[in-house]
A and B are shown apart, each in its own frame.
Chain A
Amino acid sequence: MPALDRAEAKRQLDASLGITTYVAPATPMKVGLTTTIGTDTTAGTAVTGGSYTEQNLGAAAAVVGSPTTASNAATISFTGMPDTTANSVKAVEIKDNAGRRWGYGALTTARTTASGDTLSFAAAALVFSQS
């Protein structure tokens, strides 16, 4: 996880092949929770209710490897979650601060919250990779 949005994949390919200049995202990057898993063209269904709101991603610089990976540098906490027993949290959506979609990724295991819960992702729990 995650997979790039198709438009972002084109931006990155065109830039890395010297065709166009990459337009940097508006920071900070945001992470949101969804109750359906998005596709490379369509965002998943965003969590609503409670005092849920998107949080800052706070990614650390990528680490070269096979594959090369990057992850969230610190814990990300979504406080005041709504009751998601009927529609569990299944994925995350990554976008920039202006709403430009970067990508999405399914959680290893769907998470269910009760009203008022906090759903947190420990540092390095969200891993982004490219090979």
Chain B
Amino acid sequence: MALMRTCIGCTQTDDHPKDIVDHGTFMVVWHLDCHVITVDCRSCKNRLADAKGAKGETLRAHLVSLPPLVLDEHGEEVS
């Protein structure tokens, strides 16, 4: 069953890939593109760099095809 979550940025509820941000005592959920638009999230920007505007299952397929990355605090790959 699809995992439905509501993006805090656009308030839309769907099963698209999200960035789940744990703040310790609470969490917020973002669409990756909403997270970039709203707060310039660098890791989401990194993930979407070659996604060509894909959404939903197409975006999911793209994201899981990417190689494992260790990211620094700027969302850049650690060499």
Question: How many residues of chain A have a CB within 8 Å of chain B?
Answer: 35
Least CB separation from B1: chain A residue? A85
- Smallest CB–CB gap between B58 and chain A, Å? 10
What are 25 sample pairs from A and B whose C-beta atoms fall under 8 A apart?
A50-B64, A51-B66, A53-B69, A53-B70, A58-B72, A73-B73, A74-B73, A75-B21, A79-B66, A80-B47, A85-B1, A108-B24, A111-B22, A111-B27, A113-B20, A114-B15, A116-B59, A116-B60, A117-B19, A118-B17, A118-B19, A120-B19, A120-B21, A125-B22, A125-B24
The size class of the interface chain B forms with chain A is 35 or more
Tell whether, in the assembled complex, residue B3 and residue A112 are in contact, meaning their CB atoms are under 8 Å apart: yes
A101 vs B70: C-alpha distance in the bound complex, in angstroms? Answer: 19
Query: Is B43 in contact with A51, judged by CB distance below 8 angstroms?
Result: no
Other-chain residue from B20, B61, B69, B70 in contact with A120 (beta carbon distance below 8 A): B20
In contact, A79 and B22 (Cβ under 8 angstroms): no
Known: A108-B24, A116-B59, A127-B24. A56 touches B70 (CB 8 A): yes
Say whether B66 contacts A56, CB under 8 Å: no
Chain B contacts for A112, CB-based, 8 A: 3
Query: What's the minimum C-beta distance from B41 to chain A, rounded to whole angstroms?
Result: 8
B29 to chain A, nearest CB (A): 9
